Amino acid sequence: MNSEQTGLEPSGAADSLMEKVVNLCKRRGFVFPSAEIYGGFRSTYDYGPLGVLMLRNVKDAWWRAMVQCRDDVVGLDAAILSSPRMWEASGHLSNFTDPLVDCRNCHERWRADKIGGTCPACGSADLTEPRAFNLMFKTYAGPVEDEATVAYLRPETAQGMFVNFPAVLQTSRKKPPFGIAQVGKSFRNEITPQNFVFRTREFEQMEMEYFVPPAEADRWFDYWCNERMDWYRKLGIPEEKLRLRHHGSEELSHYSKATADVEFMFPWGFDELEGIANRTDFDLRAHAAASGEKLEYFDQASGERYVPYVIEPAAGATRTMMAFLLSAYDEDEIGGERRTVLRLDRRLAPYQVAVLPLSKKESLEPLAREVLGILQPLCMCDYDVTQSIGRRYRRQDEVGTPWCVTVDFESLEDRSVTLRDRDTTEQVRVPIDRLATEMNDRLAT
């Protein structure tokens, strides 16, 4: 297997936390190497039964903060395959490139801006001159494969928001400052996909374009930097593993007036989770010029017509899920026994509750299923009857389930169950009649 398939650095110097998390992901059904029965496929991954739940929770938490709990942001789900004219106007066809270098010694390929002048695989400094490599995936729309049918998989979701700006403005009756949010897949033909799901060729993004009067852009840029840092903190990333790094003028993209990256302390050092940029009016003007349509706002109250500036917080859902997993991973000792525990926020954990009948005896099953039926409409539940109760608690701790509900023989007498907390392992007895209220309270805090 090469480094693309294992997701580990070619040097083999994988950090042990990284190895533990990658192994746990595979062993417990979070993330599998794609098409593993065929030996995997070039750094692509499939999200298993637990991974799909957690990834959905990451995206839901973002949507809740960015759309549901606000009245100034609306949603969008734009096409992945769309007009190539859009990519020409946005500059992606000419500019969306990474500098590619080849090692003349071992023939590995690298992104010149991510290595320090020597080949990370063999250490040779004999590298070719960098050349621009376009990251767009190309395909053909229709039965004829020629220049006229060339189409591209989107490399970011943002352009969908810009080209739909007039339609959204008209139908939503919003006015600046307002935003359009989108979550979905993007594709980039990355030169060196690596570090598990940190950098893959197919990934999911969570992006929002916030349209503002130009004079207010600086203020809104600061506002979104604060909001986004808060989002990660509130969902459990420790303060010391998070930082906001402002780009210097030499690092800014051609369209950006200011950019700051939200960075997480990955096992290899601080690296980007999200980019927040003041994109000015670059995109709306570029699409207006290329399409001939007016992409501007007319303020009826003041009689003023202007092209809004755009503040864009652009995050990666899959990369962020990895950061949450890395920061939640812990090992401790309970009653003299070592355990692995994912201290995931309850909103991100794949299951919020596991219902566990104490034994496999049939007499417990009807009541355990009754309890499951009470909890399933409230949150995502697991139901597990095999192995000893201690082993089953460990299994739930390892995948981050915040609470376990145990139905035992006493439950048949007193219609109460044991509610166990993942982090403290504290157990309390709760009457089944009060279980829904108790869980709703815990889920709400």
- Residue 203 found at the interface with ligand ATP (CB under 6 A): yes
Triad 51, 54, 57: Cα angle to 5°: 150
C-beta of 319 vs 346, nearer to ligand ATP: 319
Q: Taking the CB of residue 240, how many other CB atoms lie within 10 A of it?
A: 7
**Amino acid letter at 220?**
W
Q: State how far Cα 9 lies from the chain centre.
A: 21
Shortest separation between residue 92's beta carbon and ligand ATP, angstroms:
11
- Residue 205 found at the interface with ligand ATP (CB under 6 A): yes
d(CA 87, CA 188): 13
Which two three-digit tokens encode residue 377?
């409409």
Q: Which range of residues in 87-95, 161-169, 296-304, 314-322 is near ligand ATP by CB under 6 A?
A: 314-322
C-beta of 188 vs 346, nearer to ligand ATP: 188
Q: Which range of residues in 77-85, 266-274, 278-286, 328-336 is near ligand ATP by CB under 6 A?
A: 266-274
Rounded (10°) CA dihedral 317, 45, 396, 434: 50
Binding residue (CB under 6 A) for ligand ATP from 15, 216, 218, 272: 272
- Residue 274 found at the interface with ligand ATP (CB under 6 A): yes
C-beta of 121 vs 314, nearer to ligand ATP: 314
Q: Tell me how many residues contact ligand ATP (CB under 6 A).
A: 16
Shortest separation between residue 348's beta carbon and ligand ATP, angstroms:
16
- Residue 156 found at the interface with ligand ATP (CB under 6 A): yes
- Residue 341 found at the interface with ligand ATP (CB under 6 A): no
d(CA 402, CA 333): 17
Shortest separation between residue 24's beta carbon and ligand ATP, angstroms:
20
C-beta of 275 vs 357, nearer to ligand ATP: 275
C-alpha pair distances (Å), 92 with each of 12, 111, 153, 327: 34, 18, 12, 34
Residues 38-97 within binding reach of ligand ATP (CB under 6 A): none
C-beta of 316 vs 400, nearer to ligand ATP: 316
Q: Which range of residues in 39-47, 200-208, 325-333, 407-415 is near ligand ATP by CB under 6 A?
A: 200-208
C-beta of 4 vs 274, nearer to ligand ATP: 274
- Residue 319 found at the interface with ligand ATP (CB under 6 A): yes
Cβ neighbours of residue 100 closer than 8 Å, sequence gap 6 or more: 109, 110, 111, 112, 130, 131, 132, 133, 191
Using DSSP, state whether 183 is helix, strand or coil: strand
C-alpha pair distances (Å), 235 with each of 130, 142, 440: 40, 44, 19
Binding residue (CB under 6 A) for ligand ATP from 6, 134, 157, 200: 200
C-beta of 275 vs 308, nearer to ligand ATP: 275
Q: State how far Cα 14 lies from the chain centre.
A: 22
C-beta of 266 vs 403, nearer to ligand ATP: 266
Binding residue (CB under 6 A) for ligand ATP from 92, 188, 228, 420: 188
C-alpha pair distances (Å), 17 with each of 235, 363, 415: 20, 43, 43
Q: State how far Cα 220 lies from the chain centre.
A: 23
d(CA 71, CA 339): 44
**Which residue in the shown chain puts its C-beta closest to ligand ATP?**
316
- Residue 316 found at the interface with ligand ATP (CB under 6 A): yes
Using DSSP, state whether 119 is helix, strand or coil: coil
C-beta of 319 vs 422, nearer to ligand ATP: 319
C-beta of 90 vs 205, nearer to ligand ATP: 205
- Residue 199 found at the interface with ligand ATP (CB under 6 A): yes
Under DSSP, the state recorded for 94 is H
Q: State how far Cα 302 lies from the chain centre.
A: 40
210 with 227: CB under 8 angstroms? no
- Residue 275 found at the interface with ligand ATP (CB under 6 A): yes
Q: Which range of residues in 244-252, 267-275, 294-302, 340-348 is near ligand ATP by CB under 6 A?
A: 267-275
d(CA 21, CA 42): 20
Which two three-digit tokens encode residue 375?
């909890």
Binding site for ligand ATP (CB under 6 A): 156, 188, 190, 199-200, 203, 205, 272-275, 314-316, 318-319
